[in-house]
């Protein structure tokens, strides 16, 4: 697999992991020039239509999840029958390795990790997607201490789960009781799994262990975990209470949302009182959660669906229940109850007489903050007040459906019969993250704060965006996110300087294409004649080498080819030709001629000699021809020419046979 390039883009460089369904490789994105992780489905599953559909579902689901605490999915596809997903490459180590190396982790760090995983789950659950395999192996701890949840490989949209595929998937040490029983799941299952993870991180020990997956799953269903403080005595009671509430067997007793659990962890980190968790986990035996569930074995990577059994009689595999009384104590219990009831009745009677004697008077308004609307109304009416206006508003600190405000406030003296107004939380307001591209840092900060988000400068980065403006943001603009979500932004340092390719010697078209692909603007200049560079070939460039900012201009100078004046010309033989014809032949070759007359036996005007007689000449060179003036005995002359007579030139004009030679 090493060296293979998927879809002509992602070049595999090394293997970094293997799971139940796929191998994960480090790769180079050759288009964007960044390191990515590529998950490749194992060959034995590629032909399985169900696993193929699940693999595609992972990509489709995860690609829609935008959170700083979720590994980003960039791309996915198929290459020569191999399915692959391209993800963000996360540097760091998984939480399981950290626990194995160090043992128990600092409890504040445990709470920070839990809070960030809750934030990731809140985003997923908000899109009706459950992870189904929360475990420390799927939580990457980055060098900066932040975490990213990865491997939504068995996550799926809740509404798309079919009966066949709803059987248990996950790791036995971290699955919820309902997941172990093959029941329909909701977000509470992920909360339970996270509780198991935090238990292990805080104590260095698994909450349940056993010789095989079946025995571990049985314990998940039927046993309460040992409180973390009994494993690690110095653990905070508040953190222990949060973990134990998350691990309640009955999902109704757990945190109802990942955001609610996040608030509890944040309260712990901020040193605030952690409400609603103390004593959440009963030490009493756990009631059976339904009857015997069918056994579903054999899904790769999966855990068997477990029946509920009596741990004391596990061989019978029969449903059981637990009783809180026995016959030997029934009488004494009844007697005790009668005494208690009598005392309570007496107290109520005394209180009623006192109220009748003292009148309604003033009392203090009860504290109903954080309660459900129903319980708050009951508490107010029980205190002798009337519930007034009930309004709703967004409140990031209070779970939706619970009281986030009351007027008058708690413990305010108020005459009975007066109204107490309530404000019910609508939870965290959700909105669309604004587009920061092109803004200055100051503008981006203001835009995010005005929209209700928390800005975070993430550094500088070379880009095509104008210098000192936002070139990148995370999450991207348009993403639906809770108000208060942190939005990171990067400031452009301008285009990145790029190495200028050397195109000297290339033809004009190729040189221009090479430079433009590298990101430069090309200017073409016409050069001089050249014996070295043929016509149309780049003879020089400016700059030649070095680096330039993307978009800068590179000038290439193109050769005009060989200088015609330096081109070799074969000297023609004109001896025997008439003078006029010889002169024309020489002139047509861009040569010059010089005519000399001399007596000879040849007819007058016939070329009797030339110099040079053969070889090569250059444009403008002179050929001397000797033309017969007739026999020497002819009257009117002594047979000697004056020499050097005639015209010469490139025009091809014949000489006028005068005594002067023209060059």
Cα–Cα distances (Å) from 431 to 161, 269, 328, 331, 468, in that order, read 29, 27, 62, 61, 27
Instruction: Find, among 139, 166, 168, the residue nearest to 152 by Cα.
Output: 139
- Helix/strand/coil (H, E, C) string of 455-510? EEEEEEECCCCCCCCEEEEECCCCCEEECCCEEEEEEECCCCEEECCCCCCCEHHH
d(CA 293, CA 204): 32
CA 659 to chain centre: 92
- Examine the residue annotation and report whether 266 is marked as an active-site residue of this protein: no
Exactly one of 94, 133, 266, 482 is catalytic; which is it? 133
Q: Tokens 């962890």 map to which residue?
A: 265
Q: Are strands 622-628 and 592-598 parallel, antiparallel or unpaired?
A: parallel
Q: Are 428 and 397 in contact (CB under 8 A)?
A: no
In degrees, rounded to 5, the angle at the alpha carbon of residue 247 between the alpha carbons of residues 242 and 251 is 110
Asked if omega into 121 is within 30° of 0 (cis), the reply is no
Contacts of 388 (CB under 8 A, 6+ apart): 419, 420, 421, 422
d(CA 273, CA 302): 39
Q: Tokens 């059981």 map to which residue?
A: 320
Instruction: Find, among 250, 222, 247, 224, the residue nearest to 311 by Cα.
Output: 222
Extract the tokens encoding 8. 């002509």
d(CA 137, CA 124): 19
245 marked ligand binding residue: no
Helix, strand, coil percentages (3-state) for the chain, rounded to 5, are 30, 25, 45
Q: Which residues are catalytic?
A: 133
Q: Which residue numbers belong to the known binding site for ATP?
A: 39
């Amino acid at each position: 697999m090493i060296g293979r390039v998927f879809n002509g883009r992602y070049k595999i460089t090394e293997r970094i992991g293997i799971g139940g369904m796929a191998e994960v490789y480090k790769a180079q994105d050759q288009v964007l020039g960044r390191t990515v992780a590529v998950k490749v489905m194992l060959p034995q599953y590629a032909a399985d239509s169900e696993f193929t559909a699940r693999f595609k579902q992972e990509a489709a689901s995860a690609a829609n999840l935008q959170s700083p605490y979720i590994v980003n999915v960039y791309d996915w596809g198929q290459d020569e029958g191999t399915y692959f997903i391209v993800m963000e490459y996360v540097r760091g180590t998984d939480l399981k390795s950290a626990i194995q190396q160090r043992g128990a982790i600092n409890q504040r760090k445990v709470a920070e990790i839990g809070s960030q995983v809750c934030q990731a789950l809140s985003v997923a659950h908000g899109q009706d997607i459950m992870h189904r395999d929360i475990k420390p192996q799927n939580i990457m701890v980055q060098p900066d201490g932040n975490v990213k949840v990865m491997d939504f490989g068995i996550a799926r949209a809740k509404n798309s789960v079919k009966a066949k595929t709803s059987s248990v998937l996950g790791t036995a040490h971290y699955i919820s009781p309902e997941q172990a029983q093959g029941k329909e799941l909701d977000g509470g299952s992920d909360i339970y799994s996270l509780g198991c993870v935090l238990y292990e991180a805080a104590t260095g020990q698994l909450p349940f262990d056993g010789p095989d997956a079946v025995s571990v799953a049985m314990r998940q269903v039927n046993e309460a975990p040992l409180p973390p403080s009994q494993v690690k005595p110095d653990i905070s009671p508040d953190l222990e209470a949060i973990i134990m509430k998350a691990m309640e067997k009955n999902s109704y007793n757990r945190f109802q949302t990942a955001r609610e659990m996040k608030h509890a962890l944040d309260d712990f980190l901020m040193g605030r009182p952690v409400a609603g968790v103390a004593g959440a986990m009963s030490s009493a035996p756990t009631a059976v959660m339904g009857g015997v569930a069918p056994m579903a074995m054999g899904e790769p990577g999966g855990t068997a669906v477990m029946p509920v059994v009596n741990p004391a009689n596990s061989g019978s595999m029969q449903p059981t229940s637990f009783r809180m009384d026995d016959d030997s104590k029934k009488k004494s219990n009844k007697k005790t109850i009668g005494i208690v009831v009598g005392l309570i009745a007496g107290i109520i009677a005394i209180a009623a007489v006192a109220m009748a004697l003292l009148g309604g008077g003033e009392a203090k308004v009860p504290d109903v903050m954080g309660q459900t609307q129903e319980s708050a109304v009951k508490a107010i009416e029980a205190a002798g007040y009337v519930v007034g206006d009930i309004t709703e508003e967004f409140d990031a600190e209070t779970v939706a459906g619970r009281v986030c405000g009351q007027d008058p406030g708690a413990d305010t003296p108020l005459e009975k019969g007066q109204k107490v107004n309530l404000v019910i939380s609508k939870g965290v307001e959700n909105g669309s993250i604004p587009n920061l591209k092109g803004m200055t840092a100051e503008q981006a900060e203001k835009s995010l704060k005005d929209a209700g988000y928390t800005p975070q400068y993430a550094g500088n980065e070379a880009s095509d965006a104008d210098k000192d403006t936002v070139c990148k943001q995370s999450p991207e603009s348009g993403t639906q996110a809770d108000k208060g979500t942190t939005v990171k932004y990067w400031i452009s340092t301008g285009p990145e300087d790029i190495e200028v390719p050397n195109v000297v010697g290339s033809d004009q078209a190729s040189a221009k294409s090479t430079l433009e692909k590298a990101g430069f603007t090309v200017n073409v200049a016409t050069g001089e004649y050249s014996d070295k560079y043929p016509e149309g070939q780049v003879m020089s460039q400016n700059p030649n080498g070095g680096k330039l900012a993307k978009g800068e201009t590179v000038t290439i100078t193109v050769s005009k080819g060989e200088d015609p004046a330096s081109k070799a010309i074969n000297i023609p033989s004109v001896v025997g030709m008439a003078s006029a014809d010889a002169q024309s032949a020489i002139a047509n070759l861009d040569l010059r001629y010089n005519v000399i007359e001399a007596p000879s036996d040849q007819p007058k005007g016939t070329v009797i000699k030339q110099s040079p007689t053969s070889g090569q000449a250059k444009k403008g060179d002179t050929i001397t021809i000797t033309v017969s003036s007739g026999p020497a005995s002819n009257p009117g002359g002594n047979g000697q020419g004056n020499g050097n007579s005639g015209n010469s030139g490139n025009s091809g004009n014949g000489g006028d046979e005068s005594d002067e030679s023209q060059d």
